[in-house]
């Protein structure tokens, strides 16, 4: 038996937990302050470390920053999401690669994981959706950890986004997430949450 004792992780400070969870909100308005490309690279470097099944990493992101790209996105949005998305410094299109398994020889090299998926469309679809959504959750937490505010949303036409941004690829849109530095304008009161006993059991 090894004499090396595993070190327990140190719990985050209350302030950090406030930033990630307790005080974090879904923002509907943003300052004009730019989100740099360098910060987006740092965001990726955090998100990529989160676990996915068989390390499949199906999430693909287009960061919509330019005026031209925003105009391309605008017709894809539900009316209530247009103004806030046009004002946000960045809108991340969180996509999922339906051919993620082609990369498994690199990402999961110790076994032939690619063969699990080839020809199994149902398994491909469920794995891509589940794990890109999981990575999308990491994305939001990582963005908050880097000082950004988020406005995740599903109020858009996936068909139009796929045609406008992913045409000719095997990538499909999952959800959108505005990024920037939020203001209190149009910030809704926090909605209720369940208590532990409402939704959990310990057996």
23-77 pLDDT tens trace: 999 999 999 999 999 999 999 999 999 999 999 999 999 999 999 999 999 999 9
Measuring CA to CA, which residue among 122, 71, 62 is closest to residue 95? 62
Instruction: Say how far apart CA 198 and CA 42 lie, in whole Å.
Output: 37
Sign, CA torsion 58/55/142/42 = negative
The model's pLDDT over 116-166, given as tens digits with 9 standing for 90+, comes to 999 999 999 999 999 999 999 999 999 999 999 999 999 999 999 999 999
Mean pLDDT of all residues in 177-186: 96
Looking at residue 7, its pLDDT comes to 82
Which pairing describes strands 90-97 and 149-153: parallel, antiparallel, or unpaired? unpaired
pLDDT band at residue 4, thresholds of 50, 70 and 90? low
Which domains, and CATH codes, for the chain?
Answer: 34-180 (3.40.109.10)
Tell me the pTM: 0.94
44-75 as b/e: b if 16+ CB within 10 A:
eeebeebebebebbbbbbbbbbeeebbeebee
Classify residue 165 as left (phi > 0), alpha (psi -120 to 50) or beta: alpha
Mean pLDDT of all residues in 173-180: 98
How many other CB atoms sit within 10 Å of the CB of residue 196? 8
Sign, CA torsion 126/132/134/140 = negative
The model's pLDDT over 70-105, given as tens digits with 9 standing for 90+, comes to 999 999 999 999 999 999 999 999 999 999 999 999
10 Å CB burial of residue 184 (0-12, 13-18, 19+) is exposed
Looking at residue 3, its pLDDT comes to 57
Residues in the chain: 203
């Amino acid at each position: 038996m090894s004499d090396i004792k595993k070190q327990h992780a140190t719990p985050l400070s209350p302030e950090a937990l406030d930033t990630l969870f307790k005080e974090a909100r879904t923002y509907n308005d943003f300052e004009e302050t730019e989100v740099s490309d360098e910060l987006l690279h740092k965001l990726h470097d955090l998100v990529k470390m989160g676990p996915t099944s068989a390390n499949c990493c199906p999430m693909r992101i287009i960061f919509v920053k330019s005026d031209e790209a925003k105009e391309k996105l605008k017709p894809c949005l539900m009316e209530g999401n247009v103004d806030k998305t046009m004002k946000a410094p960045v809108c991340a299109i969180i996509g999922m690669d339906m051919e993620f398994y082609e990369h498994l020889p690199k990402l999961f090299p110790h076994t032939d994981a690619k063969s699990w998926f080839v020809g199994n469309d149902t398994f491909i679809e469920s794995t891509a959706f589940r794990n890109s959504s999981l990575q999308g959750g990491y994305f939001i937490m990582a963005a908050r950890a880097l000082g950004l505010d988020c406005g995740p949303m599903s109020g858009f036409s996936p068909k139009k986004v796929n045609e406008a941004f992913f045409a000719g690829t095997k990538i499909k849109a999952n959800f959108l997430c505005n990024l920037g530095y939020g203001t209190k304008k149009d910030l809704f009161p926090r909605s209720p949450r369940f208590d532990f006993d409402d939704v959990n059991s310990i057996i």
